[in-house]
Amino acid sequence: MRAVYATDLSSAIDTAIDSRVCLKCLGRYGIKEIDLITVTSPNVTTGMPGSDIGSRTKKGLERQKTQLESEGFTVNTHVVRGTPHRRINGLAEQVHADLIIAGSRGQSPLKQRFIGGTVKNLARTTVSPLLVQRIVRRDGSPEVANKHLFQRMLYATDFSENAERAFEQFKRTRTATHEATLLHVAPPERRAGGEEVEDAEERLESMAESLQEKGIETTTMLREGEAVEEILAAEDEVDPTTILLGGRGRSRLRRLLLGSTSEDVTARADSNVLLVPPAR
């Protein structure tokens, strides 16, 4: 399996790549080959007199490549110009990537999590499953929020076709996942025309049984309210290492997990997020 790893060559991404635990989790997911990509501005000319941008970029990529290779990955490096999310998606399509990995960092004084424009745009447009790896700053230094990427999974579903596609990710994370919480959020009663999935509990239990057969300790959770707020409330309650959900899911009964829901969860969650796009 192959992953495209987006890097801005910052110390934050160095921290993620230097984490042996994180890299072992990617290996257990099945990743063997990594395409390390950095996207520079089309307005920057590396050959300008006095500019050492090209040299610094090369050294930064080589440093990260060496670390990844030391953990057994085959690594290709790419330096391209253009709009980051478009070039990242373009490479993912070109190499038939099974996963795109992007780091997310930053925190406002109001303790609301923010993600950069690149990750936000990737969450909206990704052509492959997207792993947003949360990087936080503690004691002035960047640190990976959850090193065991897939150890505790919170899976949010509206039972749409794309939510079912997201559930298939457990086949890849099964050797790394110890615990899973399966969550369905019913629309609030006050919402006009809000339609509930009448057999939601039974469907969750059926999925839970399939994971328990794989040795994953699984619980189910039903909540009612606005999808984003309830998913984040569940995150506070169960403390997952990664939230798993489908992007732009649309159920047969009613569109519950809106495109903006997956993007808002990706932006506001404290955990890593594994976002699965619709089939193309």
Whether residue 128 is found in the same domain as residue 163: no
Which is nearest to 100 in space by CA: 216, 261, 247? 247
User: Cα–Cα distance between 245 and 156 in angstroms, integer?
Assistant: 5
Task: Identify the H or E element spanning 247.
Answer: none
Residue 230: the pLDDT is 95
Q: Is residue 256 part of a domain?
A: no
Whether residue 108 is found in the same domain as residue 164: no
Which is nearest to 225 in space by CA: 152, 156, 176? 156
Whether residue 66 is found in the same domain as residue 104: yes
Whether residue 62 is found in the same domain as residue 127: yes
* φ, ψ (nearest 5 deg) of residue 100: -110, 135
Under 8 Å between Cβ of 92 and 102: no
Whether residue 175 is found in the same domain as residue 125: no
Instruction: For residue 204, give Cα distances in angstroms to 224, 240, 271.
Output: 15, 18, 22
User: Cα–Cα distance between 190 and 193 in angstroms, integer?
Assistant: 9
Please count the structural domains in the chain. Answer: 2
Residue numbers of the domain that contains 8 = 2-144
Q: Is residue 254 part of a domain?
A: no
Whether residue 131 is found in the same domain as residue 6: yes
Residue 254: the pLDDT is 36
Whether residue 134 is found in the same domain as residue 63: yes
Last residue of a domain, one of 111, 144, 177: 144
Q: Is residue 48 part of a domain?
A: yes
Whether residue 83 is found in the same domain as residue 177: no
Residue 108: the pLDDT is 37
Please report, for the domain that includes residue 85, its CATH number.
3.40.50.620
Instruction: For residue 78, give Cα distances in angstroms to 15, 66, 74, 197, 222.
Output: 20, 14, 14, 46, 44
User: Cα–Cα distance between 265 and 245 in angstroms, integer?
Assistant: 9
Residues written for the chain: 280
* φ, ψ (nearest 5 deg) of residue 125: -125, 0
Residue 275: the pLDDT is 94
- List for the chain the helix, strand, coil content (%; round to 5): 35, 25, 35
Under 8 Å between Cβ of 149 and 189: no
Under 8 Å between Cβ of 218 and 208: yes
Whether residue 221 is found in the same domain as residue 131: no
Mean pLDDT by 10 residues, the chain (280 residues): 91 85 92 93 53 71 92 93 92 96 60 60 90 83 84 94 93 94 85 66 94 95 92 96 80 45 86 89
Under 8 Å between Cβ of 65 and 75: yes
Rounded to the nearest 5 degrees, what angle is found at the Cα of 45, between the Cα atoms of 39 and 50?
125
